[in-house]
Amino acid sequence: MSSQASTELYKLAVGMVGQIVLVEFDGKDFNIADRYTRDLSSPLHLLYKEPNLLYVADQLSLDTSVFKLSQTQTEMSHISSARGTLGGRSLTFNVDKTRLVELSCMDRAGIDIWDSSAADGSLSLIKTLDIPDSGDGYFQYHMYECVLDPTGRFFVVVYSGFEDYGGYRLLIIDSKDDRYEITDSIPLDDKLGVRRIAFFEDGARTFLVVFAHESQELILYEVKYSADSFSLTDMIQRLKTEPRTNRYGQKWDVTANDLVVAPNNRDLYTLNRAELADPAAITHYMFRRSKGDGNPELRMLEWSPGYGWGADAMCLSADGKYAFIGHHTNPDLANGFGLVAFRCLPTTGVLLPAPLAAIQFHDIAFENDFGARFGPEFICEI
């Protein structure tokens, strides 16, 4: 981890409506190191580039911004912005971090391809990709996430639209030889309601996990490659993310909201958002590798309370020791948590149920001129 020296110290960048917050965690306590606030902004996706740059997508702006971090990564300063498509949602680097793919959350918007190779971190727009099968009305489709596949060649975009306007699908962007073109569009069942995806590798085989928000399922596909294409096989597994009672006798009726794969390429977690009457929860799954000619499988192991409401963000530390959970809303402003840290046991992937540390919601949330408060919606380690 770039931010650790002889002592255990983790650095986080946290995005939410109106502000970016730099947070330190020493294994026991949080410390808010710096804040950058701006009205009418929504920096909901952050991407770190070593040694000291932070890229920010703003959901309410045409600008994609670059911040420079101090040597101790406890201060940040805005150094440049570049204008692209309105409504930045997701940022993804290529392997050498000289290209940046940015999705927009807005209707009928495109995908921006940025040159991020400049020494000072500044961005230059190369082109904007048009989306196939888009509609003519308002909110006909959305793009939720972009993930780089394990080969480092294909970017996979989660796309959802009404059935008449492309339906649910995965858009495939081929980056070979700096091409950056949409080369395929893989349809998915419209009843799934896809939001998040993640890759697993099992020897020479590659698998894709699709989180289906509407059907409350995790679905496992095998990825097949040809010389110039990315495709999916038939479904290998469908696993219902149904309510369960954990080892502590606790039970909530929850649905998954985020999907995170551990650094060990074995453990997978869904962050589950409940109704505001109940706290959130974190569900732990294990990717069980295949034996012989068989297929791998996902197995649900347990879940733990998330100690907050409106769970929107989850981040695992690069060493797999800690999980950080952010809650963007909280009905209990006096006692509710905004950012929570949990101990994770790397050997088993188990999250210990008692939080190690927390920042109160009212201490980290941004309050606008109308008195509304907004908590963390994105977390990344720096």
What is the pLDDT averaged over residues 180-198? 86
Find where tokens 């040159």 sit: 115
- Cis check: omega of the bond before 243, within 30 degrees of 0: no
- Mention every residue, 6+ apart, whose C-beta is less than 8 A from residue 20: 13, 14, 35, 36, 43, 46, 54, 56, 67, 76
Going by pLDDT thresholds of 50, 70 and 90, the confidence category of residue 139 is very low
112 closest CA partner among 136, 93, 129: 129
- Per-residue confidence at 250, pLDDT binned at 50, 70, 90? low
What does the alpha-carbon distance between residue 8 and residue 248 come to, in Å, rounded to a whole number? Answer: 30
pLDDT at residue 162 in the model: 56
What is the gyration radius of the CA atoms in the chain, in angstroms? 20
pLDDT at position 311 is 75
pLDDT digits (tens, 9 = 90+) for 271-303: 877 555 456 778 899 998 876 668 899 998 988
The token duo for 106 is: 């807005």
User: Residue for token digits 């999907």?
Assistant: 259
Model confidence at 309, in pLDDT bands (50, 70, 90)?
low
Positive/negative CA dihedral, 92, 95, 97, 98:
negative
Q: Give the C-alpha separation, 93 to 345, whole Å.
A: 29
Which residue would you say has higher pLDDT here, 187 or 7?
A: 187
Phi, psi of 176 (to 5 degrees): -60, 135
How high is the pLDDT of residue 195? 82
Rounded Cα distance between 78 and 67, Å, is: 4
The yes-or-no verdict on residue 332 having pLDDT over 90 is no
Run of H or E residues at 277: none
Instruction: Give the contacts of 215 (CB within 8 A, at least 6 positions apart).
Output: 191, 192, 193
pLDDT, tens digit, for every residue of 50-67?
Answer: 999 999 999 999 999 999
Q: Looking at per-residue confidence, does 80 or 215 come out higher?
A: 80
381 pLDDT exceeds 90? yes
Q: How far is CA 112 from CA 233, 331, 366, in A?
A: 29, 37, 28
For residue 289, how many C-alpha atoms fall within 13 Å in the half-sphere facing its CB?
Answer: 11
What pLDDT does 253 receive?
52
- Please identify which residue in the block is written with the tokens 């929860």: 281
Q: Is the pLDDT of residue 10 over 90?
A: yes
3-state secondary structure 54-108: EEEEECCCCEEEEEEECCCCCCEEEEEEEECCCCEEEEEECCCCCEEEEEECCCC
Identify the pLDDT of residue 73. Answer: 94
Mean per-residue pLDDT of the chain:
86
Q: What is the mean pLDDT of residues 129-137?
A: 63
| Range of weakest confidence among 100-104, 112-116, 239-243 | 239-243
Q: How many CB atoms lie within 10 A of CB 270?
A: 25
Q: 188 pLDDT band (50/70/90 cuts)?
A: confident
Report angle CA 144, 150, 154 to the nearest 5 degrees: 60
pLDDT in tens, 211-241: 887 777 889 999 999 988 999 987 899 988 7
